[in-house]
Every structure is written in structure tokens, then in C-alpha cells.
Structure 1
């Protein structure tokens, strides 16, 4: 059984890490921000914590909760993926990935997997901060096929 101080720590950590990811998305003017990603991480952590609660839940409940959270979050992420008017460019993929990642890191907080939380948070911060610059450096703009959906020219 998880004691209350540990549960509060896990939930608070999830909300804080979600907020940090949201700050990056908000600073870049993306559709999700601090509130959305904090809630995604907090809800994911809560779902995992509840699956560990000693209320007679079966032993494999945690894996089913994780599977359910990831499925549900996939639908939320799909809602931010948009095609431009021309129909050949897709936008919102990084935001959708950030939503999905935030759910995962929230679940890690819920499980109390602190080394994983810290490592993942540092890595995603680096990716979000430096990824676009690295992409511009390594992929020439004239050869870049900007997130084109399959089957488009």
C-alpha cells in the first residue's frame, strides 16, 4: 500500500513535470500548454496510483490501466494533428507526441520510478529545445519532405 505522503509526492511530481513540458509548448504557441499537459500527467499518475490501491484489484490491473491510458491519450493526441489547407503537410505531430509522452511520464511518477522520470524529463527537454535546430542543421530544406502523409507527392 502506498502511504499518503508518497502518493502526494508522486501526484505533485507528475503535475510539475507535465507543467514543464507544457511551458515549452506554450512558449512556442502550440495548442497544448501548461494546464493541458499538467492534467494529462496528473491524470495518468492518478490512474496508476489507483491501480495500486489495495481495494481488491487483481494483480495485473496496473498493466491494463497503463494500456487504457495510452489508448485514451492516443485519441487526445490525434485531435491536435491537422492537415494544412493544401492537404499535403501535417501539423501538430510534436504536440501529439508531447501529449503521449506526458501521459507516460505521469504514469512513471505514479509508479514512483524516479530515475526514469528524471532521465525522461531531461531527454524530452533537450529534444524539445534543440530538436528543431538540429533538424534544420542536418536536413537541407530543399530535400526535406515536411511530415507529408503517406501517399502524397
Structure 2
């Protein structure tokens, strides 16, 4: 299984038909050893369908792979139960930052308007920020140079 650049190896074990934990441990141990022999670095995930194994077996399994247990349930919500249980295997769908974040410059301007009279210095920096970092740098440099020239005149 894998999407895009994912190389995860997922093994599904149906414990409803084969509940023997000794067989399960041997199968997982054999697969893990085979992957070690060939030098695989792929992460291994074991999905267990059916009753949850004993704590001893879970400790053994989690030494070599990630284990997800999916218990059988009947009823209307079976699809959602399976989706919820297996969602840990799916890649996250993150929204683009532009779609969720508001314009931070506009937020600062609105905050200054809300709190009273905006400072002309801040207004000038915010206006420069609309054009990027270089413009802000040029604005700040101009302030410093103006301040130095002012002190020389005084």
C-alpha cells in the first residue's frame, strides 16, 4: 500500500477465521525476518480484523510493526467504524495555508483601527509590507537615515 511517495507495507490478518495467536506471532515474525534479510526499510503495519489479541501477543507484535485492531461490529455504522479504525493509515488532507489564513497585514490594520488612531509609522510599515520584505527594509533604512540627517542638522 502506498500513495505518492509512501512505501508503507500493510498486512491484513483475518483473525475471525484464524484466531490462533501462536500462528499469528509466527507469521509476523517470519515476515519481519524476511524483510530484515532483504534489507527492507519499509515500515510494516499489521491490521488485525477480529478479536484483539492478548497483551502478551500485542507486546510481541509491536516490537516489529505497528498494530491496528479492527473489531467486527454489526449494524448501520460498520462502514464508519472501519473508516475510523483505518484512518490512521491514510495520508492527512491538509488545507492550503492561503485558504485558511487571513491576510495578517489586514488583521493588524483592522486591530489598529479598532483600538483608535493608527500610528503613521506603523501605517507606513504596513503599506510597505504589502510589497514585500525589501520594501519594508528600504522604509526602515530611510527612517534611520532621516533620523541621522535630522540629528546632524540639529
Same fold, judged at TM 0.5 (above): no
User: Higher helix fraction: Structure 1 or Structure 2?
Assistant: 1
TM-score normalized with structure 2 length: 0.29
Larger radius of gyration: 2
Q: More strand by proportion, 1 or 2?
A: 2
State the structure with bigger RCO (CA 8 A, min sep 6), 1 or 2: 1
